[in-house]
Amino acid sequence: MSSSGNGSGGTKKLAFPHLGFVGGLLFAIRKAGKVTPVEPPEYLKCPITQELFGDPVILSQTGYTYDRPAIERWLRQKTPPTDPSTNVELYTTETVPNWALRDAANEWCTANGAKPLQDPESAKRQLAGGINARDRRAPGGG
């Protein structure tokens, strides 16, 4: 992209010689209208996929958090199973939902205009005595 004076009081003209005037104008309009999506912070990204957590779970033996589909795929492919971050051989592949990280990801989504995370069926909050008070429906809500 080059700019050159057109002789009218210091006003500069954008030149895109390979696009022609109309093509250059359309290119500039499209480029100005593009909004770069905001990248989530590193602590909200899965170490395996490098994408925003969708269903964060803690690998119980090591305490590291991964996205559920990513860690399940990783564990299916490894014999014996290992932790992706430490390469430690696992004696258990149990996972626990990471609700704090899910809440943080939802806050980030809300603040940045992204769609909030959906609670997957496999990760509903439950206590030994039943449904968590936070997840109860309003009386009469069925």
Give the tens place of pLDDT for each residue, 99-126.
999 999 999 999 888 888 887 766 555 5
Q: What's the whole-model pTM score?
A: 0.62
CB contact at 8 A, 48 and 71 = yes
Q: Which of 11-15, 67-71, 82-86, 95-99 shows the lowest per-residue confidence on average (mean pLDDT)?
A: 11-15
**Both tokens assigned to 93:** 């592949």
What does pLDDT average to over the chain?
Answer: 77
Q: Is the pLDDT of residue 45 over 90?
A: yes
Q: What per-residue string of b and e applies to 100-135 under the rule 16 or more CB within 10 Å gives b?
A: ebbebbeebbeeeeeeebeeeeebeeeeeeeeeeee
What number is the average pLDDT over the span 28-37? 65
